[in-house]
Amino acid sequence: MANVTPRFIMLQCYRLLLHCPPTPRSTALRIRAITKRSCSACSSSHQFRAEVSISFGTHLIPHPSKADRGGEDAFFVSNYNGGVLAIADGVSGWAVRNVNPALFSQELMSNASYLVMDNEVNYNPQILLGKAHAATYSIGSATAIVAMLEKNGTLKVANVGDCGLRVLRKGQVIFSTTPQEHYFDCPYQLSSEIIGQSYRDAMVCNVELLEGDMIVMGSDGLFDNVFDHEIVSIVSRFNNAIEAAKALADLASNHSMDANFDSPYSLEARNKGFDVPFWKKILGKKLIGGKPDDITVIVGQVVSSSDNSDPSEASQG
């Protein structure tokens, strides 16, 4: 597991689970004091605004070799309160232990969707991750991100690992999450094993949203294959959550299969010191290419509450 260089050169998706003995995670996980890992884009400003909610579009394209099983990403959206969106990405390294990596992410998201209205969660995405994790008994691990919008426009985000979220306003990215990883391609992850991270390791942030803002949430299959300027371009072109989500997922899928595309993933790999062999560098070659992966995209358009007619609707993938 430790020698990962060949996989980078192949630019294949094979994210690493933390190396550890298969010790069962304690089932006595208790929700304790929250460690806040704030980010520079957090905003404390607050002013009176009309009530808002989210109009959703979602699109999932599984890794081609995993399409028959639906891939290992899982997600849900809910119109509870101002709106909830969440993605978990099952860590594929579990397959070498004959564990289906999809089971953990699917159970985690299923539990999270049921716990959205839980009193102890109190509409806090970090607590939601903690309680959903504690209720998950599948073997495996996953990165996970949850965002919950208050009707007053405050978007509360909790993120463990390298799923991501962007907020776009008037053609610009005004908020971006930062991936958490132990080393390249080994993200922070919620795990069935005690060595994994917990909800207390989440990056948490509040972002003040306005009507018309667009939220783009994705698994790393999106952000490893699509640059922010491309996200801005597509969202601006469609300005419709359903069409934008499909267009972003399609673009990510096309880039992921393009061996000649200098993707965000290949740029990051080279920045971390991974590249083609020396003799190829002499010939002017470099490590490039998209990264095949499960691709999940959720686009949320912030709308006036009166524009979003069905408050009970929820969907899961």
Please, which of residues 140-169 interact with Mn ion by CB under 5 A?
A: none
Residue 264 lies near Mn ion (rule: CB under 5 A)? no
Q: Which is nearer to Mn ion, 12 or 240 (CB)?
A: 12
Find the shortest distance in angstroms from Cβ 285 to Mn ion: 26
Residue 82 lies near Mn ion (rule: CB under 5 A)? no
Would you list the DSSP string of the chain?
A: ----HHHHHHT---PPPPP---PBPPS------------TT----------EEEEEEEEEE--GGGGGGT-SEEEEEE-STT-EEEEEEE-GGGGGGT--HHHHHHHHHHHHHHHTT-TTTTT-HHHHHHHHHHT--SS-EEEEEEEEE-TTSEEEEEEESS-EEEEEETTEEEEE----EEETTEE--EESBTTSB-GGG-EEEEEE--TT-EEEEE-HHHHTTS-HHHHHHHHHHH--HHHHHHHHHHHHHHHHT-TT-B-HHHHHHHHTT--S-HHHHHTT----B-----EEEEEEEEEEGGG---TT-EEE-
Which region, judged by CB under 5 A, interacts with Mn ion, from 45-53, 102-110, 180-188, 219-227? 219-227
Residue 185 lies near Mn ion (rule: CB under 5 A)? no
Find the shortest distance in angstroms from Cβ 221 to Mn ion: 5
Which region, judged by CB under 5 A, interacts with Mn ion, from 48-56, 206-214, 247-255, 285-293? 285-293
Q: Which is nearer to Mn ion, 88 or 115 (CB)?
A: 88
Q: Which is nearer to Mn ion, 71 or 82 (CB)?
A: 71
Residue 208 lies near Mn ion (rule: CB under 5 A)? no
Q: Which is nearer to Mn ion, 16 or 158 (CB)?
A: 16
Q: Can you tell me which of 213, 293, 296, 302 binds Mn ion, judged by CB under 5 A? A: 293
Q: Which is nearer to Mn ion, 275 or 294 (CB)?
A: 294
Residue 89 lies near Mn ion (rule: CB under 5 A)? yes
Q: Can you tell me which of 220, 241, 290, 291 binds Mn ion, judged by CB under 5 A? A: 220
Q: Can you tell me which of 57, 221, 264, 300 binds Mn ion, judged by CB under 5 A? A: 221
Which positions lie near Mn ion, rule CB under 5 A? 89, 219-221, 293
